[in-house]
A and B are shown apart, each in its own frame.
Chain A
Amino acid sequence: NAGVMQNPRHLVRRRGQEARLRCSPMKGHSHVYWYRQLPEEGLKFMVYLQKENIIDESGMPKERFSAEFPKEGPSILRIQQVVRGDSAAYFCASSPSPGNQPQHFGDGTRLSIL
């Protein structure tokens, strides 16, 4: 499967725990974007990363959320001290270059907070 791979597909956490979401971009893609989808809503941009660099994190909440895309390995979206309002589907997309290039999405991680 050469598509964008996200894991886990489903993640359940209790309030106050940490959630780590992983994203492996398509082969040959070095640009990763994270979006959040709430029920009955469209996707909202969170952060854009290239290898080892955060390019734009204007959509990320100021606290508890962080993202990285290391030289080796998948991109990680980390949510510390989760709260009920963090329950959502988190999607990762990748593209071969920045700008208006097609962004291809993974199947997401459904995060549920108990």
Chain B
Amino acid sequence: QQQVKQSPQSLIVQKGGISIINCAYENTAFDYFPWYQQFPGKGPALLIAIRPDVSEKKEGRFTISFNKSAKQFSLHIMDSQPGDSATYFCAAGGSNYKLTFGKGTLLTVNP
């Protein structure tokens, strides 16, 4: 059972554009939602995370939007750059400290 569904599987954006990646979860016990960025041959690096007491969190060009009632959250990358080309994973965690990951989105930003 896939508890965190991520879409799209791949995304191509022009430089300067907005990249949007969406995730949906099923388990209402989740209360921590991080996003990770992974480059080939590297481990996932924490980008930004949100808790359900806020609907939006922004750090630089990265914004998480959170909709608790719909059980959905999304990552927006503003002014996308070629250096942002990577695989992005959403995840969800609860009091049991495990992180449940989506399957990832391969982002390509064309120059």
Contacts and interface: CB of A to CB of B under 8 A. Distances in A.
B93 A107 contact: no
Interface residues of B, number: 28
Given A42-B103, A43-B89, A108 B46 contact: no
B13 interface: no
Interface string A84-108: 0000000100010011101111111
Interface in B39-59: 41-46, 49, 51
B42 to A, nearest CB: 5
B43 A100 contact: no
Contacts of A106: 43
B103 A41 contact: yes
Contacts of A42: 4, 6, 89, 91, 101-104
Top 8 closest pairs, chain A to chain B, by CB: A42-B101, A100-B32, A105-B43, A107-B43, A45-B98, A43-B101, A42-B103, A105-B44
Contacts of A48: 97-98
A4 interface: yes
A44 B42 contact: no
Contacts, number: 66
Interface of A: 4, 6, 31, 33, 35, 40-45, 48, 56, 59, 91, 95, 98-100, 102-108
A56 B96 contact: yes
24 contacts: A4-B43, A31-B97, A33-B97, A35-B99, A40-B103, A41-B103, A42-B91, A42-B101, A43-B44, A43-B99, A43-B101, A45-B98, A56-B97, A59-B98, A95-B97, A99-B95, A99-B97, A100-B32, A100-B94, A103-B34, A105-B45, A107-B41, A107-B43, A108-B42
Interface string B76-96: 000000000000010101111
A35 B100 CA distance: 10
B51 to A, nearest CB: 8
A49 B111 CA distance: 44
